[in-house]
Structure 1
Amino acid sequence: MDELTIAMPKGRIFEEAYELLVKAGYDLPKELDDSRKLIVEAPNEKFRFILAKPMDVPVYVEHGVADVGIAGKDVMLEHERSVHELLDLGISRCYIATAGLPNTAMNEMTPRIATKYPKVASHFYRSKGEQVEIIELNGSIELAPMIGLADRIVDIVSTGKTLKENGLVEYEQIVGITSRLIANPVSYRLKQERISELVEKLRKQVTL
């Protein structure tokens, strides 16, 4: 049986994906769930897990150091890697939305949009025929409207709690997000039987 290298993000997606794999019948080591290691073996299933930042998972899969991976659709939309998207796992549900201070209009000249998703944001406003200036930030996006850096932000919303705590309101939902099982195109050909088995086992557990 071929060993399968799986890239997974740490945090919420990892926890939900781990649970899904166990429900699908895979015998995974319990320490995988709280391991501080970056590479963890699951010898009973011939799995090798690479634990990475969410944005890096598709990079590892695209370059073939991981055969498959689990990545949020937000990452896939923003970076458009050359990978096969095999299955919507229906986990880690959230969405990308625009938000800002309540009851405030956007600047009529050139509205400024702060985001860590510049490609998604640009595409959204272009599709509406609106010209905007995109300001790319990597953290504390909610700060931008509060300090006058931007008219709106484009960011992931899960419960809306963070927006509320910072005095912001949601304006428009852009796209719903779930986590996807992705594969390296070469690995998919060479290890098709193994990967197809993984897809089918997970498909039976998916609730969309």
Structure 2
Amino acid sequence: MITVAFAKGRTMEGVLPLWQRAALPVPTDLDESRALVFEEPSDTYGTVRFLLAKPADVPTYVSFGVADIGVVGKDVLYENPRDVYELLDLQAAACKLCVAGPPAEREKRPRRVATKYPRLADQYFRSQGESVELVGLSGSIELAAVIGLADRIFDLVQTGATLAANGLVVFDEVLDVSARLIANRSSYRLKKAAIDRITSGLKTALEGGWKA
């Protein structure tokens, strides 16, 4: 059995088409069910078990061996480093980690920054020689700038539509982010052939080839 931890939401939606092009098993009711664990029989891999988890939890499941491999955004790996192998840039669910805020704040010194990424935000603003107060939030970060809780936000931006709809603009693009395939170190040794086969299939799909 191979157990795969998938980050729910934007990452999974971006990666699934690639996963399917690589002819890897996918549960048929993945989009319809509220279940968090799926098992899909496979002639190649035996049974593939899928765990649907919050993005921040995927590296934890993989590092502790609950999942053999995982699919998660690079932003999560930067923010919460874990002892895992990073096998492949899946070039999906691409976005940028940005500093943004109301246009009137652009030329002012930052004072308070709302973010889901306190570690990365602290590193960034220190590198800019700025001392800021970080406000940790887990919901819609844009709201903090709209209502005046913060004069900056430090968050992922995909299309910029949400920023524009709320009167915010990007001040700086900090990091390019995309989904990554990661593996548990012990699993990679014990199940190397299966994990390498999955990685190879995804590489072929990325290069425009297809094994269907």
Q: What number of residue pairs does the alignment pair up? A: 205
Mapped partners of 1:178, 1:121: distance in 2: 18
Between 22-31 and 126-135, the greater mean CA deviation after superposition? 22-31
Note the alpha carbon deviations across 1:169-204, whole angstroms, 9 max, x for none.
111000011000001111111111111111111111
Mapped partners of 2:203, 2:48: distance in 1: 18
Give the match for residue 97 of structure 2: 96
Give the match for residue 72 of structure 1: 73
Call closer, same or farther: CA 1:10–1:34 in 2, change over 3 Å.
farther
Call closer, same or farther: CA 1:27–1:59 in 2, change over 3 Å.
closer
Mapped partners of 2:135, 2:169: distance in 1: 19
Give the match for residue 15 of structure 2: 17
Give the match for residue 167 of structure 1: 167
Give the match for residue 203 of structure 2: 203
Note the alpha carbon deviations across 1:133-160, whole angstroms, 9 max, x for none.
2111111211222222212100110111
Give the match for residue 58 of structure 1: 59
Mapped partners of 1:172, 1:20: distance in 2: 30
Between 5-14 and 86-95, the greater mean CA deviation after superposition? 5-14
Between 87-96 and 14-23, the greater mean CA deviation after superposition? 14-23
Q: Alpha-carbon deviation of 1:132? A: 1.5
Identity %, equivalent residues: 47
What secondary structure is seen at the aligned counterpart in 2 of 1:148? coil
1:102-181 → structure 2 map (5 Å cutoff): 102-105=103-106, 108=109, 111-181=111-181
Cα pair 2:25 2:48 within 8 Å, conserved: no
Give me the TM-score of the superposition, normalised by structure 1. 0.92
Mapped partners of 1:184, 1:131: distance in 2: 37
Q: Alpha-carbon deviation of 1:105? A: 4.4
Cα pair 1:145 1:153 within 8 Å, conserved: yes
Call closer, same or farther: CA 1:145–1:21 in 2, change over 3 Å.
closer
Give the match for residue 41 of structure 2: 43
Mapped partners of 1:41, 1:23: distance in 2: 19
Q: Tell me, which stretches of 5 or more residues in structure 2 are unaligned?
A: none
The residue type equivalent to 1:188 in the other structure is Y
Query: After the TM superposition, which parts of structure 1 deviate over 4 Å for at least 4 consecutive aligned residues?
Result: 105-108
Q: Alpha-carbon deviation of 1:33? A: 3.5
Q: Tell me, which stretches of 5 or more residues in structure 1 are unaligned?
A: none
Between 153-162 and 96-105, the greater mean CA deviation after superposition? 96-105
The residue type equivalent to 2:90 in the other structure is L
The residue type equivalent to 2:192 in the other structure is Q
Call closer, same or farther: CA 1:48–1:203 in 2, change over 3 Å.
same
The residue type equivalent to 2:193 in the other structure is E
Mapped partners of 1:68, 1:198: distance in 2: 10
What secondary structure is seen at the aligned counterpart in 1 of 2:105? coil
- Cα RMSD of the aligned pairs, angstroms, is 1.8
Mapped partners of 2:202, 2:177: distance in 1: 18
